Structure 1
Amino acid sequence: MTQKPPHKVALVGLGKIAKDQHVPSITKSAAFEVGAIVSRSATGQDVPVYETLDAMLTGEPDIKVVSLCVPPQVRFDMARQALSHKRDVLLEKPPGASVAEVHALERLARENGCVLYATWHSRHAMGVAGAKAWLASRKPVSARITWREDVRHWHPGQAWIWEAGGLGVFDPGINALSIMTEILPAPVHVSSADLTFPENRDTPIAAAIRFSGADGLTVDADFDWRQTGTQTWEIEVVTDQGTILLSGGGATVTIEGKEVSSDEALASEYDGIYAHFADLLASRTSDVDLTPLVHVADAFMLGKRLQTEAFFD
C-alpha cells in the first residue's frame, strides 16, 4: 500500500513552545512536515516564512493544516481566518481566551467542513491512560492537586501571561485540570476559589480551588507560580480501593506507595498530540473538549480576589 504524503503544516508563532515541542514532534512524525512558518522574527529557516497569516494563506494554497502557537489573546482571529479559508486548525492550550470564542470556532469549523483540534498536551503524559484505567473501576473519595512551579524559569519575559486573557497561574494549572478531567470517572465542578493577584498584574500568581462531585467527592487544587528549586506537579486520588499518585506532570504513576511507571515530564506529549491530530484529519473529525477551560472560567467567576505584593521578572 502506498503511504500517503505527509500533511504540510503552517506553524504560526515560533516562540519557546513551538521550538521546544511542536517542531521536534512534527519532525519525528511520518504524518506531518513543516511547510511554512508565520513569524515576524524567524530567520534562517528551510521553509517559507511569512510575516502575517493572511500572506501565508494567500501564498500557500496547498497547505491545508495550520498549527496556532500564539498567545490565546490573539488566537481567535487567526483561527477564524484560517477556518474561513477552509484550513484545518490545531489550537495550542488553552484553546482560547474565553469559552464563547472557542464555541464560535467550533461552529465555523463545522460549517466549513474543517477539522478543529483543541489540544491538551498533558493528557498525553505517559501515566495518564493507565491512571484513567485504574480509576475506572474504583470510587474516588477525595483528590489533591499540587501544581507549583517557578514562572521566571518557565515563562521568562512573557508579558502576555500577566495580561487579561493570559490566565496567569492557570496557564500551567490548566494542564493539571486537563489530566483531572481525563482520569476521574465522574465530573466535578468548582465550588469555591481564592485567587491571589500581584498588585501590578491582571492575572493571578496563585490559586486555591475546591471542586465538588457526586457522593461527597472533593478535589482541592493548589496552584502557585512562586516555587523555586524542585518543581511540583502532582495529582493524588484517594479511592475506596487504594490511592494513586501522578507526579512529574502525569509522567510517573505510584499506586499504594509503589511506583509502577516512570517517565520524564513533557516526554512524548506533543508526539501524542500530533498522532491524534493525524487520526482526526484521517476521519475528518474535530476534538474540542472545553471542560478544563470551563473550570478556569468558573474559578474566575466564583473566586475571591486576594492581593499580594507586586511581581517583577
Structure 2
Amino acid sequence: MAKQKIAIIGLGKITQDQHLPVIDKGNDFEVAAVVSQRGLSHNGVPSFKTAADLYAAMPEIGIVSVNTPPDVRHAIAREALEAGKHVLLEKPPAATLAEFEDLKAFAAAKGKVLFATWHSQFNPAVDEAKALLAKHGVGSVKIEWREDVKKWHPGQEWIWEPGGFGVFDPGINALSIFVKILPFAPFVKAATLTYPENRQTPIAAKLTFGSAEAAQPTLTADFDWREQGDEKWHMTIEAAAGHKLRLYKGGAALEVDGKLAVEAPSEEYERIYAHFAQLLASGQSDVDGSPLRLVADAMLVGRRDVTEAFVW
C-alpha cells in the first residue's frame, strides 16, 4: 500500500525528536511538505512559511500534523479543516476547552478526521494497568511527574506565557494516563499552583482528586519542573483488592506486587501514527478532552503560591 502524504506544521523540538523520525521509518505516511516560520525543511521537501501557502501550492496533500505551541493550535487546525484536511493534533490539543470543543464540532461538520493525541496513553503497560484496575478496583493513585525544565524545554519561552501550560505541559501526559486507567471519572477537588515571580505559568502543582465512587479512593498528583537528576515519571497505585502497581518510565513499564509485568520499547509515536492511519481508514475521529479538562479545573480551583524568579 502506498504511503499517504502528510504535511507537518511546526518544526519545533517535539517534531524533530519524534514526529519526523517516526514518520520517516514508518509504513503509513510520507512527509511531503512542512510549514515553518523559521524556514526549516526536512529531507528537501517543500517548506512554506504559512499553512495557506502550503494549501495553495500543494492542494493534493489531504492530511496535516499540527505540532505548534498550543496557543496558536486552534486557528491552525481550524484553517486546515476549512481547507478540507484531516488533522492530527499534538498534545495538548488546544489552549482552552472552548477551542477544543469548537474543533471537535467543526471537524464533524466538515466530515474530516480529527485526532487529539495523548502519546503517553499508547503504551502496553498502560493498557495492562487499566485492565487490572477494572478487575480489582482502585484504592489509591499517587502521581509523581517531576523533571528539569531546563533539560526538556531549553530556552522555550512560550511555555511560560499565558496558554503555554507551564508544568502542565508534561503533567498532562500523566493526566492522560490517569484518565485512561481509572474505571471511573476523576475530578479536581483542590490544587496548589506554584508560579515563579517572573512567569505567567506554574513551575509546580499539587492536585487532589475526587470521584463519584462510594469508596472514595485517594488520588493525588505532584508535578514539578525543578527536579534535579533523573526524571520521575511514575505512578504508585494500590488496587482495592490489595495489589500494588507501579507505572514508571512515563508509562512504558509496569510492576505488579514488586515484579516487572510489562515493559515495552518507547514507541508511543509509532503507535500514534498507526492509530491515525486506522482512523483515516475508518473515517472516525478520536477526540478525548478529559486530560485538558482536568488541567482547566486545576486552574479554576487552584490556590496560587509564588516562588523565586526562574531564569534559564
Please state which band the TM-score falls in when normalised by the shorter chain. over 0.9
Q: Match for residue 66 of structure 2?
A: 68
Partners of 1:96 and 1:45 lie apart in 2 by 29
Pairwise CA distance, 1:40: 2.5
Amino acid at match of 1:209: L
Mapped contact 1:125–1:249 kept (Cα < 8 A) = no
Aligned to 1:156, the other structure's residue is in SS state coil
Q: Cα gap change, 1:43/1:192 in structure 2, threshold over 3 Å: closer, same or farther?
A: same
Mapped contact 1:142–1:239 kept (Cα < 8 A) = yes
Amino acid at match of 1:186: F
Mapped contact 2:196–2:307 kept (Cα < 8 A) = yes
Pairwise CA distance, 1:29: 1.9
Pairwise CA distance, 1:30: 1.2
Partners of 2:253 and 2:79 lie apart in 1 by 39
Q: Match for residue 81 of structure 2?
A: 83
Question: Are 1:231 and 2:228 an aligned pair?
Answer: no
Partners of 2:147 and 2:123 lie apart in 1 by 18
- Percent of aligned pairs with the same amino acid: 49
Pairwise CA distance, 1:262: 2.4
Partners of 1:10 and 1:222 lie apart in 2 by 36
Partners of 1:68 and 1:44 lie apart in 2 by 16
Partners of 1:275 and 1:43 lie apart in 2 by 24
Deviations 1:124-154 (A, max 9, x none): 1241111111111011011100000000000
Q: Match for residue 178 of structure 1?
A: 176
Partners of 1:173 and 1:187 lie apart in 2 by 18
Q: How many residues align?
A: 308
- CA RMSD in angstroms, aligned pairs only: 1.0
Amino acid at match of 1:219: L
Deviations 1:221-264 (A, max 9, x none): 00000001011001111112211110110011100111122245
Mapped contact 2:147–2:232 kept (Cα < 8 A) = yes
Deviations 1:161-211 (A, max 9, x none): 000011000000000000010111111110000000000000000000000
Q: Match for residue 244 of structure 2?
A: 243
Deviations 1:85-111 (A, max 9, x none): 110000000000001101101111111
Q: Match for residue 303 of structure 1?
A: 302
Pairwise CA distance, 1:28: 2.1
Amino acid at match of 1:305: R
Aligned to 2:233, the other structure's residue is in SS state strand
Mapped contact 2:107–2:114 kept (Cα < 8 A) = yes
Aligned to 2:206, the other structure's residue is in SS state strand
Pairwise CA distance, 1:44: 6.2
Q: Match for residue 219 of structure 2?
A: 219
Partners of 2:234 and 2:55 lie apart in 1 by 41
Q: Match for residue 291 of structure 1?
A: 290
Question: Are 1:312 and 2:311 an aligned pair?
Answer: yes
Question: Are 1:258 and 2:250 an aligned pair?
Answer: no
Aligned to 1:281, the other structure's residue is in SS state helix
Pairwise CA distance, 1:113: 0.8
Partners of 1:185 and 1:126 lie apart in 2 by 17
Amino acid at match of 2:13: K
Mapped contact 2:34–2:41 kept (Cα < 8 A) = no
Q: Which runs of 5+ in 1 are unaligned?
A: none
Q: How does 1:268-283 map to 2 (within 5 A)?
A: 268-283=267-282
Partners of 1:81 and 1:240 lie apart in 2 by 47
Q: Could you tell me the TM-score, scaled by structure 2's length?
A: 0.97
Q: Match for residue 25 of structure 2?
A: 28
Alignment match of 1:107 (pick from 95, 105, 108): 105
Partners of 1:82 and 1:182 lie apart in 2 by 28
Q: Match for residue 5 of structure 2?
A: 8
Alignment match of 1:38 (pick from 35, 38, 54): 35
Pairwise CA distance, 1:305: 0.3
Pairwise CA distance, 1:270: 0.2
